[in-house]
RNA sequence: GGAACGUUAGCUCAGUUGGUUUAGAGCACUACUUUGACAGAGUAGGGGUCACUGGUUCGAGUCCAGUACGUUCCA
């Protein structure tokens, strides 16, 4: 399931993250042999698109008001056809493996009809009503907004203390604090707290609004906070939702002083036709000049801005269409509460519950043309019927009112975009327009929704409601919330900050694989990610590493030999086989928990460290030497399997390498994953020991400045000589040792460096001149650590309460730690003695 | 004002039900190495009082309470 990307836009980093995650999940599901369906699509984004089209027309010198609805819509469709598909092309460039033939658009004819019918169905059920309520008005787009479309921002404002003259007394006044002096013409009361001693005497009296001298009552209500401002509040029911409620309670008049574009209306009486913010400045000046302004102070509070046009939202009383959310939200709340739908990360469950329990009605009408036109019809008196078209509306009217309507006019408004996208999970399979069809029966409910937490209420919650309401089933089983993409300083990426990188340029510069790698490696499960371009470089380096490994392996193709004397490094092969299977088991777990970033890290390290740094070095033949055919074959198979594991993250390079390793028809992207095989943990620990010994010996060589080309001889004292013997071939190869001797006790060897690895004491015999100080230093340091460690273990074991209370297996373990530490300490002390 | 989440190395993060080392990665950093897949590399190394203060416990990065700071959401 793809969230419908905004038809107006180009891809940004948020899309990049979101769609990369979905692609990873889809590719992996496909490799597991599942019929993975990922539906692409775009939504019509009514406000944003309409704003774009209006702007485009304005540039051409055409005003929207000069066009008929039909003409405007034809321009909008033209725009959609030209730009609407761009985003899908960009997804292809990112490597997203969508089912392209299923591409949908929320205003496709069938989908459009479904939206309209959903409206009618809900209206007939009594879930949709028309009502005059306080709404958020966007004065630029000239439309209502839902609460979710309003973004609150901390804003520095000026708080004006204004004097309102009291009735009856010449020089007396009451001081009111407001940040909106331009609304005083809409004041219909002043309100104080009933317990406020400062105003006890004023209750029930009257004051005059400055400049226009309208007489308004002074009322008392507990809503007013005594500490804020002067404790006296000017009540403007038309322009603030709290004031509106106060007004309702106290039966106050409502005076709307604004026009729909944010200019002052005739009702205001003064400054008519001027913009609200211009008036704020002008009126403040006039109030000051006329002595009404006592003082000003700066004040920071949250102000609502329109999500789409970024202008300050105006609370406004207006007649709109609403969905009664209480009637529809119940099953959707339960579905998440009882985990029929699981949220990843789980913390969003709380947020969801809180919103659902305090849900408010959804304002679904928008004063726009681009969108699904509300199927409501009005007669001359404003009587309403809801029906899909005029003919049905007339029939409905007759049924309802018993007469034939002379003229029926359709509502001019459109539905909120989300009123169409909430049907997405089933209507892309025509689950509403053709209920129970084969497709929807097969694919619905879908599995996983991947989306940004910002639209949990806009979209996720409403899809769940729609699913429960119209399909009687939840729309998906898991919801994975991605983090928010931020810049290095932790700021949200936004157009206005200009900190959002151009994704297309990045794809050109680094390639899709590197960009996908970069964003995924930086993206911890459930957290925001601080994105930095340098992670793309890491991706690029990784590509390069894989490419070089390919070069190496391919160069072996001509060097294969079936010579029976040629040894096959079976330890290396068996070890890597086990390591690979172990990593696959880890990956299985990580995918199960949606820890994709960690899954990528696991594969990255498997390829870079285990495969390239260890395995390939172990099986690598000497300069221009042959290698056994078996080794070559196994190496190819390993490489293939690694590419398959990496493929969901980096589809392009893995596919290419897969074909370069061996010419073939089959594609990696559709190749099923082989069943996981068991791994041998003894082999894994042998490999671990080998790696540790190699590192320790290299370190000793480094510190004693023994050149890589200078050979050494190894004498190893070990309690497990058989284990050591199994690794000597690889060990001597990796540290340039000409001979390895292993025994349970070894006398000190002349002119040698001693290192201790685990319970092994290794003498590195060399012909070079030795300076024992550095190795002594290292041994002393190790000794110090071990003694401290031993002390902490001893402390535990000598604590009677610990021995009494702790789990026996833990005590056993502590005893083992103690014994091991003692052995190691003995070995180091012995080594130190030989140095003296 | 209310709520949720977070605070572990210079940066970004792991760390499962308290005991598997005296806390791990990846980047970045330092030294050495131009070796024959790869200098976009290799080899090795340094780096943390786990925000703070108390508490529970034989034992706390992990559980509890409070404080500070941060982010987000809702008023």
ipTM of the complex: 0.94
Query: What sections of A675-806 are H helices per DSSP?
Result: 681-703, 721-735, 772-798, 800-805
Within 7 Å of a protein beta carbon, the nucleotides of strand B are 3-5, 11-14, 19-22, 25-28, 32-33, 35-38, 40-45, 57-59, 71-75
The 3-state secondary structure of A501-514, one letter per residue: CCHHHHHHHHCHHH
Gap from A597 CA to B37 C1', Å = 28
End-to-end Cα distance, chain A: 71
Gap from A470 CA to B7 C1', Å = 45
A694 Cβ contact partners less than 8 Å away, ≥ 6 residues apart: A731, A734, A735
Q: How many CB atoms neighbour CB A705 within 10 A?
A: 12
pLDDT, residue A241, reads 77
Residues A430-460 pLDDT 10s = 999 999 999 999 999 999 998 888 888 888 9
Q: Which of residues 518-537 of A touch strand B (CB under 7 A)?
A: 521-522, 524-530, 534
Q: State the maximum Cα–Cα separation within chain A, in Å, rounded to a whole number.
A: 119
C-alpha dist (Å) from residue A235 to A177, A342, A677: 11, 46, 74
- Does the CB of A813 sit below 7 A from strand B? yes
Instruction: Note whether A237 and A249 are within 8 A (CB).
Output: no
> pLDDT under 50 in chain A at which residues?
1
Gap from A522 CA to B28 C1', Å = 15
pLDDT, residue A1, reads 45
* CA A718 and chain centroid, separation: 52
Alpha carbon distance A432, A425 (integer Å): 10
> Beta strand pairing status for A476-481 and A446-451?
parallel
Alpha carbon distance A436, A471 (integer Å): 9
- Does the CB of A350 sit below 7 A from strand B? yes
Rounded (10°) angle between helices A808-835 and A772-798: 150
pTM, entire model: 0.86
Instruction: Note whether A184 and A210 are within 8 A (CB).
Output: yes
Residues A121-166 pLDDT 10s = 999 999 999 988 788 888 888 888 777 677 777 777 788 888 888 8
Alpha carbon distance A51, A72 (integer Å): 12
* CA A581 and chain centroid, separation: 31
């Amino acid at each position: 399931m793809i969230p419908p990307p905004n038809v107006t836009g180009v891809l940004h980093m948020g899309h990049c993250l979101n769609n990369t995650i979905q692609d990873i999940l889809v590719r992996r599901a496909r490799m597991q042999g599942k019929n993975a369906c990922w539906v692409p699509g775009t939504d019509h984004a009514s406000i944003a698109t309409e704003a774009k089209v209006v702007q485009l027309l304005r540039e051409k010198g055409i005003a929207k008001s000069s066009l008929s609805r039909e003409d405007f819509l034809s321009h909008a469709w033209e725009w959609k056809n030209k730009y609407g598909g761009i985003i899908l092309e960009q997804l292809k460039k990112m490597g997203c493996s969508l089912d392209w033939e299923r591409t949908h658009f929320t205003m496709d004819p069938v989908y459009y009809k479904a939206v309209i019918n959903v409206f009618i169905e809900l209206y007939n059920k009594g879930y949709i009503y028309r009502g005059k309520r306080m709404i958020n008005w966007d004065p630029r787009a000239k439309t209502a907004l839902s609460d979710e479309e309003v973004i609150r921002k901390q804003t520095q404002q000026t708080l004006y203390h204004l004097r309102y003259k009291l009735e009856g007394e010449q020089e007396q006044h009451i001081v009111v604090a407001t940040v909106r002096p331009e609304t005083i013409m809409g004041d219909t009361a002043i309100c104080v707290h009933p317990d406020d001693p400062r105003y006890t005497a004023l209750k029930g009296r009257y004051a005059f609004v400055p400049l226009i001298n309208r007489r308004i009552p002074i009322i008392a209500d507990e809503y007013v906070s005594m500490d804020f401002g002067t404790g006296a509040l000017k009540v403007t029911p038309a322009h603030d939702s709290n004031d509106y409620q106060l007004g309702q309670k106290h039966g106050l008049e409502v005076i709307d002083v604004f026009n729909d574009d944010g200019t002052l209306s005739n009702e205001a009486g003064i400054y008519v036709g001027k913009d609200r913010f211009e008036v704020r400045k002008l009126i403040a000046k006039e109030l000051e000049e006329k002595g009404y302004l006592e003082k000003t102070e700066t004040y920071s509070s949250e102000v609502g801005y329109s999500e789409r046009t970024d202008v300050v939202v105006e609370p406004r009383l207006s007649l709109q269409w609403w969905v009664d959310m209480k009637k529809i939200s119940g099953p959707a709340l339960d579905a998440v509460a009882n985990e029929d739908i699981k949220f990843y990360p789980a913390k969003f469950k709380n947020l969801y519950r809180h919103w659902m329990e305090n849900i408010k009605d959804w304002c679904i009408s928008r004063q726009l043309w681009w969108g699904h036109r509300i199927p409501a019809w009005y007669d001359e008196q404003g009587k309403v019927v809801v029906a899909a078209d005029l003919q049905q509306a007339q029939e409905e009217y007759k049924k309802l009112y018993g007469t034939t309507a002379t003229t029926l006019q359709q509502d001019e408004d459109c539905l909120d975009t989300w009123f169409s996208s909430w049907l997405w999970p089933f209507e892309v399979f025509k689950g509403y327009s053709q209920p129970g069809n084969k497709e929807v029966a097969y694919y619905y409910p879908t599995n996983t929704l991947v989306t940004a937490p910002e639209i949990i209420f806009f979209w996720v919650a409403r899809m769940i409601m729609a699913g429960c309401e119209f399909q009687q089933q939840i729309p998906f089983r898991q919801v994975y919330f991605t983090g928010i993409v931020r810049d290095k300083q932790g700021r949200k990426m936004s157009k206005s900050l200009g900190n959002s990188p151009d994704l297309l340029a990045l794809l050109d510069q680094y390639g899709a694989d590197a960009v996908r790698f970069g964003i995924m490696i930086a993206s911890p499960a459930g957290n925001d990610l601080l994105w930095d371009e340098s992670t793309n470089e890491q991706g690029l380096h990784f590509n390069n590493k894989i490419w070089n490994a390919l070069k190496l392996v391919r160069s072996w193709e001509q060097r294969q030999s079936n010579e029976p004397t040629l040894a096959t490094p079976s330890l290396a092969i068996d070890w890597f086989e086990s390591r690979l299977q172990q990593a696959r088991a880890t990956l299985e777990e990580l995918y199960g928990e949606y820890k994709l970033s960690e899954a990528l890290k696991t594969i990255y390290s498997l390829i870079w460290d285990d495969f390239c740094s260890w395995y390939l070095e172990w099986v690598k033949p000497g300069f221009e030497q042959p290698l056994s055919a078996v080794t070559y074959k196994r190496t190819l198979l390993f490489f293939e399997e690694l590419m398959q594991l990496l493929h969901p993250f980096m589809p392009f390079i893995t596919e290419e390498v897969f074909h370069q390793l061996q010419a073939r028809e089959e594609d990696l992207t559709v190749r099923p994953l082989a069943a996981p095989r068991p791994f041998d943990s003894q082999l894994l620990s042998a490999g671990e020991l080998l790696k540790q010994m190699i590192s320790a010996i290299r370190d000793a060589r480094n510190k004693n400045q023994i050149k890589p080309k200078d050979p050494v001889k190894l004498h190893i004292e070990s309690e497990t000589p058989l284990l050591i013997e199994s690794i000597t071939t690889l060990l001597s190869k990796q540290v340039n040792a000409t001979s390895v001797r292993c025994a349970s006790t070894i006398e000190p060897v002349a002119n040698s460096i001693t290192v201790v690895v685990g319970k092994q004491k290794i003498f590195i015999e060399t012909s070079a001149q030795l300076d024992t100080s550095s190795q002594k230093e290292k041994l002393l340091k190790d000794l110090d650590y071990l003694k401290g460690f031993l002390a902490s273990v001893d402390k535990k074991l000598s604590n009677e309460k610990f021995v009494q209370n702790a789990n026996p297996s833990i005590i056993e373990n502590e005893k083992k730690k103690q014994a091991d530490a003692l052995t190691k300490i003995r070995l180091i002390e012995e080594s130190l003695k030989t140095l003296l």
